[in-house]
Amino acid sequence: MEHVAITGRGVISSIGLDLQTFNANLLAGKVAAGPARGASDHDNIWMSLIDDFDAQVWMEGRVVRNSARFAHYAIAAAAQAVAEAGIDNFDPLRTAVVVGSALGGVDWDGENQALLDSAGPDAVSSKFMANCLLNMPAAHIALRFGLHGPQLSIATACASSHDAMGIAAKMIEAGEIDVAIAGGTDCPISPLVFFGARNNKMFTPQPDPYKTCRPFNKERFGVMLGEGAGMFVLERVERARKRGAVIHGRLRGYATLADGYHPSSPEPEGRWEQKVMEMAVENASLPGGMDDVDAVVAHGTGTPVGDIAELAALNRIYGNRAEPLRVMSPKGNFGHPHGPAGALGLLAGMLGMQEGALLPTAGTHDKRELMDEVGRLHAVINEPAPGKIDVLQVNAFGFGGQNSSLVVTRE
């Protein structure tokens, strides 16, 4: 892809409700971990929660009342992205909204189920169905900006935001649209989610919350669930240059495919993760191919099998370099937010491009045994790994064998 610029970015996360704060806390190595709502102290279940978000700062009260929290996050992040892009007027038919979400309004589901159980059918909100629908974040963004172009909602588990951005980029590249507001959002704070995740052994409860998620660590116990949204304005390069916009990067490559292996576990050797990374780089048409990639933001959830599969795939692609390829995962900072995981990973990687160093993986302290198993990569821990990043690859893999990868370059 040659024609897709990133001109706007927005974020709602447990480590920052705007890009400046998010970046500052990434640089400071902040880890946001606290008790899961609805879990007792003895459950030892920790999440990376957003505690200080006020939806009414970002939208009218009627929108707050008539939408679920995952939509609030997307609207707020989209508003930030549009503001950074500096777009005052959209061409309504030439602008798309593409939003990914893995779980939708699951928090709203839980609240209304509780009302049904305690007070009966008449207590269930008349807005229940509309608020839970996966397409409502995209719908509210389109309503906010008066847009009439493609309005799409993508549900590919934890690859949802990557696929949303990739589909939006393809529409720009094909000349179907000029601008897209794209990214992902989720608010999986329901006890149904985190007890289900525990019972599925996605994580092992720990007395110490800071041991919950440690990607690439020798001793790792699984995911720390998170929440939030990451949204971008994607724009045809020629249009962005004509209006004098700041181009923060270019989306050059995208690929998505299926493991076809298991509903919740990756293929152990990471063969299809390898294939999707290779396809994304091929789609980017880099002069030097794989040799041009300077760093990777891994999906890196901290699960015992997931990290092994991804790092094995990375090693087969990049393990023979004279200087080991730098790899990190930001999930040690803000947990695993499901649908927006890829978008927030891209934001972390773009900060590394800006700083000239790949940021360290928070919470990870001992990678030796794991790295010995999978080969010669530089999993960045403890401190940033300096070096210019002109080409960045970002991975997002999800339940159902959803594998997606993006390649982003500087302008």
| pLDDT tens digits, 237-252 | 999 999 999 999 999 9
**Angle CA(218)–CA(221)–CA(222) in degrees, nearest 5?**
115
β-partners of residue 312 are none
Which residue in 203, 388, 205, 196 sits closest to 306, CA to CA? Answer: 203
Mean pLDDT of 158-177: 98
pTM given for the model: 0.95
Mean pLDDT of 31-52: 84
Q: Taking a C-beta distance cutoff of 8 angstroms, is the pair 330, 344 a contact?
A: yes
Output DSSP code: residue 406. Answer: E
Most confident of 34-43, 83-92, 216-225, 302-311: 83-92
| Least confident residue range of 191-200, 261-270, 344-353, 392-401 | 191-200
Alpha helices in 45-159 (DSSP H): 61-65, 69-85, 106-119, 128-132, 136-145
In angstroms, the CA 216 to CA 315 distance is: 13
Q: Tell me which fold the domain 253-401 belongs to.
A: Peroxisomal Thiolase; Chain A, domain 1 (3.40.47)
- Residue 128: what pLDDT? 79
Q: Please give the radius of gyration of the chain, using alpha carbons only, rounded to the nearest integer.
A: 20
Mean pLDDT of 50-64: 94
* pLDDT digit string, tens, across residues 170-220: 999 999 999 999 999 999 888 888 888 888 888 888 888 888 889 998 888
Task: With cut-offs at 50, 70 and 90, classify the pLDDT of residue 42.
Answer: low
Q: Taking a C-beta distance cutoff of 8 angstroms, is the pair 99, 74 a contact?
A: yes
- Residue 371: what pLDDT? 67
CB burial of 375-394 (b: ≥16 within 10 Å; e: otherwise) equals eebbbbbeebbeeebebbbb
Q: What is the DSSP string of 194-257?
A: HHHHHHTTSB---SSGGGS--TT-SS--B--EE-EEEEEEEEEHHHHHHTT----EEEEEEEEE
| Least confident residue range of 120-124, 162-166, 305-309, 382-386 | 120-124
Q: Taking a C-beta distance cutoff of 8 angstroms, is the pair 72, 55 a contact?
A: yes
Output DSSP code: residue 391. Answer: E
- Residue 372: what pLDDT? 62
β-partners of residue 409 are 250, 391
For 190, the token pair is 């329901």
Other C-beta atoms closer than 10 Å to the C-beta of 373 total 13
Residue 84 pLDDT > 80 = yes
Q: Taking a C-beta distance cutoff of 8 angstroms, is the pair 19, 347 a contact?
A: yes
| Least confident residue range of 291-295, 311-315, 339-343 | 311-315
Kindly list the domain boundaries of the chain, sorted by start residue: 4-249, 253-401
Residues 6+ apart with CB under 8 A from 196: none
Residue 101 pLDDT > 70 = yes
* pLDDT digit string, tens, across residues 227-236: 999 999 999 9
Mean pLDDT of 304-308: 90
Residue 113 pLDDT > 80 = no
Surface-to-core class of residue 284, CB atoms within 10 Å of its CB (0-12 exposed, 13-18 middle, 19+ buried):
buried
- Residue 340: what pLDDT? 98
- Residue 211: what pLDDT? 84
Residue 272 pLDDT > 90 = yes
Mean pLDDT of 16-40: 92
Residues 6+ apart with CB under 8 A from 121: none
Sheet hosting strand 295-297, strand order edge to edge: 151-154, 95-100, 179-186, 228-236, 4-12, 249-258, 402-409, 391-398, 295-297, 326-328, 378-379
* pLDDT digit string, tens, across residues 261-270: 998 889 999 9
Mean pLDDT of the chain: 92
- Residue 369: what pLDDT? 61
* pLDDT digit string, tens, across residues 115-150: 778 888 887 778 778 788 899 999 999 999 999 999
Tell me the CATH class for 4-249. Answer: alpha beta
In angstroms, the CA 324 to CA 321 distance is: 6
Q: Which parts of 337-382 are beta strand (E)?
A: 357-358, 378-379
